[in-house]
Amino acid sequence: MQAELLICARWVAPVEPVEVLEHYSVAIADGRVAAVLPTSEAEQVIEARETVHLDHHILIPGLVNAHTHAAMTLLRGYADDLALEPWLKERIWPAEARLLCEEAVRDGALAGAAEMLAGGVTTFADMYFYPQATIHSALALGMRVAAGIIVVDFPSRYAANAEEYLQRGLALHDEYRSEPLASFLLAPHAPYTVSDDTLARIASYAAETNLPIQTHLHETASEIEHSLAQYGKRPLARLEALDLAGPALSAVHMTQVDDQDLELLGRYAINVVHCPESNLKLASGFCPVAKLLEAGVNVALGTDGAASNNDLDLLGEMQTAALLAKGVAGDPGAFDAATALRAATLGGARAIGRDHETGSIEPGKWADLTAVCLDATRLLPLYDPLSQLVYAGERRDVSGVWVAGERRVQDGAIKDFDAGELRSRLQVWQRCVQEMEDTDAHD
């Protein structure tokens, strides 16, 4: 068999199937996985233009960050130690109103995307203003992006009203229709920022375009209280009444889940994107991951934005999610290592509607791959490579990343990326924010 690339690893964790394969190789042709086979066999039957040996590594599918706001790296550390409502209304939204422009989003998204890529993420779902700028930054790094067609019912520099948000996003979807690295989501911000009329229009557009939908949902107890007071329904039940409940929907956060919610999530095969570190930092609550899995719900992992995390480290998020789920459920087996890796890869791909092409190492899928070195002294001795990856691995252990068979990270460094130039631009934006703060202090 002819192949452009043969990666021979000590371990391969394909996710599908679940088991870890020792001394296995992945052959890549035309950017896709051509075969997964024992290295001893691969050396006999694969004629590769290039062969990479990973003698101390576990090769996993490229990580999928199923929810973030990449450009919010510009506000990393700007509004710490606040609950969600004051965090948004008193700090984040006022800052965005003054700072937002396409150039700022492009630089912030490039910083966020680079951070994710170096940490093993090959695909991320983004929800933010100026999605064209985020797409531009992701493509500059050779990453996959599922760009959210952001919709809110208040004006911004990006759009004047809900219909303009939708039309600008759908036009962008048409523009990038033939770009294999870009896909799209309909992204109403949250039920508390989007009216029934707008949500009904989004349901109609989703039916017409077959685009997935992603929204913040059941993030805090106050969100539930306000929805009950205003609509007489919990937010998820409100979405059901507006024909938005279904397997195309991803509910981000879901820290407030009662038995009725659980039944709806399972009945409609709704995806849940779990962002444990952001939820912990904002003291929003705990997503009941074990109950969701028991109900058959697909669970994905997201970092949320760097303004509420404060990093975009999905390997770290995977460890936090696994440990937190055990504590919440009172069961050490509630979210085991294999389940955690699945949530960070195939679960995320499924939530954004891309599981047919990425999220696992299977013949025919894009060769989106991440190599993690398990040879550091702090990772030895090593009895179970998958457990070591989830419970002790760190993003600094990521040595190689490939997207569609193209190497994007080598020896831990992003290829063809000028970090110094980006650092200078980020310092300019920092000064802008600080000057904004100084002006407010003198008013």
Secondary-structure percent of the chain, ordered helix, strand, coil, rounded to 5: 45, 25, 35
Indicate the residue type of 81.
D
**pLDDT tens across 288-334, in order?**
999 999 999 999 999 999 999 999 999 999 999 999 999 999 999 99
Indicate the residue type of 272.
V
On the question of a cis peptide bond just before residue 191, with omega within 30 degrees of 0, the verdict is: no
Please tell me the pTM assigned to this model. Answer: 0.97
What tokens appear for 62 in the block? 């490229």
Average pLDDT over residues 252-272: 98
What tokens appear for 99 in the block? 């700072």
Domain chopping of the chain, boundaries: 2-61+367-411, 63-351
- What are 250's strand-pairing partners? 214, 271
Cα 428 to Cα 139, 382, 435: the distances in Å are: 23, 45, 11
| C-alpha Rg value of the chain to the nearest Å | 21
**pLDDT tens across 370-412, in order?**
999 999 999 999 999 999 999 999 999 999 999 999 999 999 9
Q: Is the pLDDT of residue 442 over 70?
A: no
Average pLDDT over residues 99-105: 94
Residues 223, 230: Cα–Cα separation, whole Å:
11
C-beta of residue 287 within 8 angstroms of C-beta of residue 274: yes
Average pLDDT over residues 93-118: 95
Residues 164, 142: Cα–Cα separation, whole Å:
29
Give the pLDDT of residue 437: 76
C-beta of residue 370 within 8 angstroms of C-beta of residue 401: yes
Among the residues of 6-78, which ranges form H helices?
39-45
Q: What DSSP string describes 175-190?
A: HTTT-TTEEEEEEE--
Average pLDDT over residues 266-295: 97
DSSP state of 90: I
- Residue 175 burial (CB count, 10 A): 12
DSSP state of 161: S
Residues 6+ apart with CB under 8 A from 305: 68, 69, 70, 72, 73, 75, 112, 278
Give the pLDDT of residue 260: 97
Q: Is the pLDDT of residue 30 over 80?
A: yes
Average pLDDT over residues 248-252: 98
- Residues 436, 437, 439, 441, Cα dihedral to 10°: 170
Cα 180 to Cα 24, 68, 88: the distances in Å are: 28, 20, 34
Average pLDDT over residues 18-46: 97
2-61+367-411 belongs to which CATH class? mainly beta
Residues 301, 283: Cα–Cα separation, whole Å:
18
What is the percent of the chain with per-residue pLDDT over 70, rounded to a whole number?
A: 99
pLDDT confidence band for 97 (50 / 70 / 90): confident
Give the pLDDT of residue 443: 58
Residues 283, 388: Cα–Cα separation, whole Å:
29
What tokens appear for 417 in the block? 């990326």
Average pLDDT taken over every residue of the chain: 96
**pLDDT tens across 139-196, in order?**
999 999 999 999 999 999 999 999 999 999 999 999 999 999 999 999 999 999 999 9
The per-residue b/e assignment along 258-290, b for 16 or more CB within 10 angstroms, e otherwise, is eeebbebbeebebbbbbbbbbbebbebbbbbbb
Q: Which of 303, 188, 312 is nearest to 250 (CA)?
A: 188
Residues 21, 199: Cα–Cα separation, whole Å:
45
Query: What separation, in Å, do the N-terminal and C-terminal C-alpha atoms of the chain show?
Result: 71
Residues 294, 335: Cα–Cα separation, whole Å:
11
SS (H, E, C) 358-399: CCCCCCCCECCEEEEECCCHHHCCCCCHHHHHHHHCCHHHEE
The per-residue b/e assignment along 311-321, b for 16 or more CB within 10 angstroms, e otherwise, is bbbbbbbbbbb
Residue 97, SS3 per DSSP:
helix
**pLDDT tens across 201-222, in order?**
999 999 999 999 999 999 999 9
pLDDT confidence band for 98 (50 / 70 / 90): confident
DSSP state of 71: G
Give the pLDDT of residue 435: 87
63-351 belongs to which CATH class? alpha beta
Give the pLDDT of residue 440: 67
Give the pLDDT of residue 436: 81
Cα 403 to Cα 75, 96, 142, 325, 342: the distances in Å are: 28, 32, 7, 30, 18
What is the percent of the chain with per-residue pLDDT over 90, rounded to a whole number?
A: 95
Give the pLDDT of residue 142: 98
Residues 64, 118: Cα–Cα separation, whole Å:
13
Residues 108, 269: Cα–Cα separation, whole Å:
34
Task: Report helix angle 102-118 to 419-442, nearest 10.
Answer: 130
Q: Is the dihedral of CA 345, 394, 183, 239 positive or negative?
A: positive
Q: Is the pLDDT of residue 125 over 70?
A: yes
Residues 163, 168: Cα–Cα separation, whole Å:
9
